[in-house]
């Protein structure tokens, strides 16, 4: 069983189902409204836990009702929340998500307490990081805290996985030097490398540029086409499982968490882990909401 520590965000998601995305200056009616637990970090933690990982979390919530609700939900997933700080005078992070009839989403985030995660918080949980197989982070919490977390990880032989989302055009060099694997989607890969990723050939070009930045293992998810990997001289586009998508929210997060549950620290079984992650994501996109859509291991194993 892999032990994974997530450094990341925790949000309360407000979801709207719409026929199509709203245009500037336009008012439209939503078909459905509901709330769910979210945040890229929390989504990835839930995906890892449901896929069989021993999962810990480092992050922050506000001293409010949504914060208490998010903590309770993470505890229900048997995630170690001892690294989550409750911040006074700040609200828990929130995301406002519109999902159209094609299953595509548009997301606006208010960071709230997520931006209070700091280097001190990370250092106080250094033993948690040091005892992990993988440390995973995104860009919904301060980068300096992530850098410190990855420093501690590397000092203790722990592998680091960076999901560079939301996209950042210029990722700090010191963070990239500490990143063992980078896992953007096609849009994020383009923001970082300037390569418009649409297929295996363009993904290969983007991966080459990511290698030039110092990252040895690259995975680029390309929506319904699958996931491209390039590591140690081996590369391949692993096809996605063909399903009818109704909501792509948390699909990428599910991929990351599920992959980490199966991946070996030397990445030697990367293709196998990607297939497992693709299966997990194929289930997520057939359901609404972020964390409510994330499957359990027994469901993933049944996907053919």
Reply yes or no on whether the pLDDT at 288 is more than 90: no
Q: What are phi and psi of 99, to 5 degrees?
A: -125, 125
pLDDT tens readout for residues 79-101: 999 999 999 999 999 989 898 99
Quote the pTM value.
0.94
Q: Domains, the chain, ranges and CATH?
A: 3-300 (3.40.1190.20)
**247 in a known ligand binding site:** yes
**233 in a known ligand binding site:** no
**13 in a known ligand binding site:** yes
The answer to whether 152 touches 130, Cβ cutoff 8 Å, is yes
Q: What's the confidence (pLDDT) of residue 290?
A: 87
Mean pLDDT of the chain: 96
Mean pLDDT for 108-129 is 96
Q: Binning pLDDT at 50, 70 and 90, where does residue 107 land?
A: confident
Q: Binning pLDDT at 50, 70 and 90, where does residue 18 land?
A: very high
Determine the Cα angle at 43 with ends 258 and 64, to 5°. 155
Q: End-to-end alpha-carbon separation of the chain, Å? A: 23
- Residue in 36, 6, 3 with CA at minimum distance from that of residue 289: 36
**198 in a known ligand binding site:** no
133 annotated active-site: no
CA atoms 109, 111, 114, 120: torsion sign: positive
Tokens read off for 15:
């979801």
Q: Binning pLDDT at 50, 70 and 90, where does residue 281 land?
A: very high
**100 in a known ligand binding site:** no
Calpha distance 184→190 (Å, rounded)? 9
pLDDT tens readout for residues 119-154: 999 999 999 999 999 999 999 999 999 999 999 999
Tokens read off for 233:
């001289």
Calpha distance 294→133 (Å, rounded)? 22
Q: What's the confidence (pLDDT) of residue 106?
A: 87
Catalytic residue among 100, 180, 253, 266: 253
Q: What's the confidence (pLDDT) of residue 248?
A: 86
The answer to whether 291 touches 73, Cβ cutoff 8 Å, is yes
Reply yes or no on whether the pLDDT at 15 is more than 90: no
Query: Strand 226-231 vs strand 217-221: parallel, antiparallel, or unpaired?
Result: antiparallel
Reply yes or no on whether the pLDDT at 304 is more than 90: no
Cross-strand partners of 107: 97
**114 in a known ligand binding site:** no
Mean pLDDT for 186-210 is 97
């Amino acid at each position: 069983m892999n032990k994974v520590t997530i450094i990341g965000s925790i949000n309360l998601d407000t979801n709207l189902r719409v026929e199509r995305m709203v245009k500037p200056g336009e008012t439209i009616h939503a078909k459905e409204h509901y709330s769910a637990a979210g945040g890229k970090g929390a989504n990835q933690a839930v995906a890892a836990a449901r896929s069989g990982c021993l999962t810990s979390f480092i992050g922050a919530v506000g001293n409010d009702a949504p914060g208490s609700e998010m903590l309770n939900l993470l505890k229900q997933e048997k995630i170690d929340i001892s690294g989550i700080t409750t911040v006074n005078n700040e609200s828990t992070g929130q995301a406002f998500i519109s999902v159209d009839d094609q299953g595509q989403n548009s997301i606006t985030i208010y960071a709230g307490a997520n931006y209070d995660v700091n280097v001190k918080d990370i250092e106080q949980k250094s033993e948690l990081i040091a005892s992990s197989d993988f440390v995973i982070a995104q860009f919904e919490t301060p980068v300096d805290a992530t850098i410190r977390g990855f420093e501690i990880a590397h000092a203790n032989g722990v592998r680091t996985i960076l999901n560079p989302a939301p996209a950042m055009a210029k990722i700090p060099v010191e963070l990239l030097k500490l990143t063992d694997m980078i896992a953007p989607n096609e849009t994020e890969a383009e923001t970082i490398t300037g390569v418009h990723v649409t297929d295996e050939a363009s993904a290969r070009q983007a991966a080459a540029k990511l290698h030039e930045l110092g990252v040895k293992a690259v995975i680029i998810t390309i929506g319904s086409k699958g996931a491209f990997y390039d590591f140690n001289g081996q590369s391949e586009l692993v096809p996605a499982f063909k399903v009818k998508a109704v909501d792509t929210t948390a699909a990428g997060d599910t991929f990351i968490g599920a992959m980490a549950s199966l991946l070996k620290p030397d990445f030697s079984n990367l293709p196998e882990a990607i297939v497992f992650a693709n299966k997990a994501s194929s289930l997520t996109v057939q359901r609404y909401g972020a964390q409510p859509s994330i499957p359990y291991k027994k469901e993933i194993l049944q996907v053919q």
